[in-house]
Amino acid sequence: MDGQSRSARSSSAARFLLILVGAAFLLLVGFGGGVAAMWVLGPDIKGLVATTQPQPTIADEQEIAIGEQLGLLEQIWDILQAEYISPEQINSQEMVHAAAAGFVSALGDPHTAFVEPVRAAIIEEDMQGSFEGIGATVEMREGVLTIVRPLPNSPAVRAGIEAGDQVLEVDGRSLEGLDIMEAITLIRGPRGTEVRLLLQREGIAEPFLVTVTRDRIEVQITEARMLEGDIAYLSLSEFNALSTQQVRADLRELMRQNPKGLVLDLRNNPGGYLQMAIEIASEFLPRGTLVVTEAERGEQNRELRATRGGQALQVPLAVLVNGGSASASEIVAGAIQDHGRGALVGEITFGKGSVQHTHTLSDGSSLRVTIARWVLPGGRILNGDGLEPDVVVSTTPDEVAEGRDVQLERAVEYLLQNQP
């Protein structure tokens, strides 16, 4: 290639990169379509503003500054294209994603985030309450993908996979250096297809292969049972698209048994959809009761209230919480506490008092933007400070090792001691 061709290609690539990054940033900061159009069409921004706006406003000056600052990215792109020693390692998509993530992280809000396409797809799939794969929860332990728990009646169980198994390879590809989302993407796949996992198991000297036939996995996010003393127990692990349906079905069965009290377990529930929180809170609070107030930018505060006659309005109630109870969990627990409907038992909650809106972007990535803060019925705003339980109960490693759930034991004791 001659120098002129390389220059043209570099300039074209630079404009392409700049357009994508500029569009993502302008979307984030909320400038209108007119600004984006000006940037894509490429006129001189200073000249255009000077012609149409003889007396520039603060917004105009910000737009000019952004245009100049984004020009830095074009300079960087051109330099890298021309000088970087390994040009084959230059990946425009990865660079755009990194730039977008950097824009968003500069806000300093951990809940406003850019999520690249692979992670965005997994998160969205999980929030729908089902996925296609082998059916096992996993985590990274010292850089190795490890099976935490095969889900009941799942392909993983049928294939003999056990908790603690380390996954070294998927279909012959090593997982070394991959993060957890990249590894999960390799393991998941269409129902009926096979995936070969190279596993390392404690007590077995050599790694071994297991072939698993993928299936559709319906995530069981609730657990319901009767405890001693005629106390009902209902746990909820997240507020996804199926949460309300499953909670209502479980409550229907539990309430048929006329329990003396009910334990709602929201420990380690990270939250989810706000609407699900309102609907589930409505099972415990009378219709019309204030659940939470949204304080949104530039809008009047919006009160969200219990929407229907719930199934558990009178039964004595205790809610289990801990440091893993966040967001939607804190909305439900906080509303119950503020209205005196039940007692919180356990440890202080996470303390997330904001609402995010997720935008799906053109390449499948997503942008989560904090759009509102929420206020509990009693006026509390959780901004790093969680909910303080009415009955504080901590757990010790020894109790966990013994299989004791002292927080649940204390919640049952509380309900039996506070009968109407």
- The CATH number linked to 402 is 3.90.226.10
- Say yes or no: 190 and 139 in one domain: yes
Establish if 117 belongs to a structural domain. Answer: no
- Say yes or no: 214 and 232 in one domain: no
Question: What are the phi and psi torsion angles at 65 (to 5°)?
Answer: -60, -40
Rg (CA), the chain: 26
- Say yes or no: 166 and 231 in one domain: no
- Say yes or no: 13 and 97 in one domain: yes
Establish if 111 belongs to a structural domain. Answer: no
Predicted local distance difference test score (pLDDT) of residue 56? 56
Q: Which of 165, 215, 250, 338 is catalytic?
A: 338
Dist. CA 335–CA 19, nearest whole Å: 45
Establish if 122 belongs to a structural domain. Answer: no
Final residue in a domain of this structure, among 194, 218, 242: 218
Told to judge if 237 belongs to the known catalytic residues of this protein, a careful annotator would answer no
Predicted local distance difference test score (pLDDT) of residue 62? 64
Q: Which residue has the tokens 């000297």?
A: 205
Q: Which of 352, 354, 365, 366 is catalytic?
A: 352
- Look at the chain and report how many structural domains it folds into: 3
- Say yes or no: 260 and 368 in one domain: yes
Q: Look at the pTM and tell me if it is higher than 0.85.
A: no
Establish if 139 belongs to a structural domain. Answer: yes
Predicted local distance difference test score (pLDDT) of residue 45? 28
Full domain range(s) for residue 18: 3-106
Final residue in a domain of this structure, among 106, 138, 165: 106
- Say yes or no: 160 and 203 in one domain: yes
Dist. CA 123–CA 197, nearest whole Å: 23
Establish if 120 belongs to a structural domain. Answer: no
Q: How large a percentage of the chain has pLDDT more than 70?
A: 84
Instruction: Inform me whether the pLDDT recorded for 29 exceeds 70.
Output: no
- Say yes or no: 161 and 260 in one domain: no
- Say yes or no: 401 and 287 in one domain: yes
Told to judge if 329 belongs to the known catalytic residues of this protein, a careful annotator would answer no
Final residue in a domain of this structure, among 154, 184, 218: 218
Among candidate residues 220, 215, 218, the one with its CA nearest the CA of residue 159: 215
Compute the average pLDDT of residues 302-309: 92
Band of the pLDDT at 5, cuts 50, 70, 90?
A: very low
Establish if 112 belongs to a structural domain. Answer: no
Q: Which of 243, 327, 354, 365 is catalytic?
A: 327
Told to judge if 385 belongs to the known catalytic residues of this protein, a careful annotator would answer no
Q: How many CB atoms lie within 10 A of CB 339?
A: 19
Establish if 31 belongs to a structural domain. Answer: yes
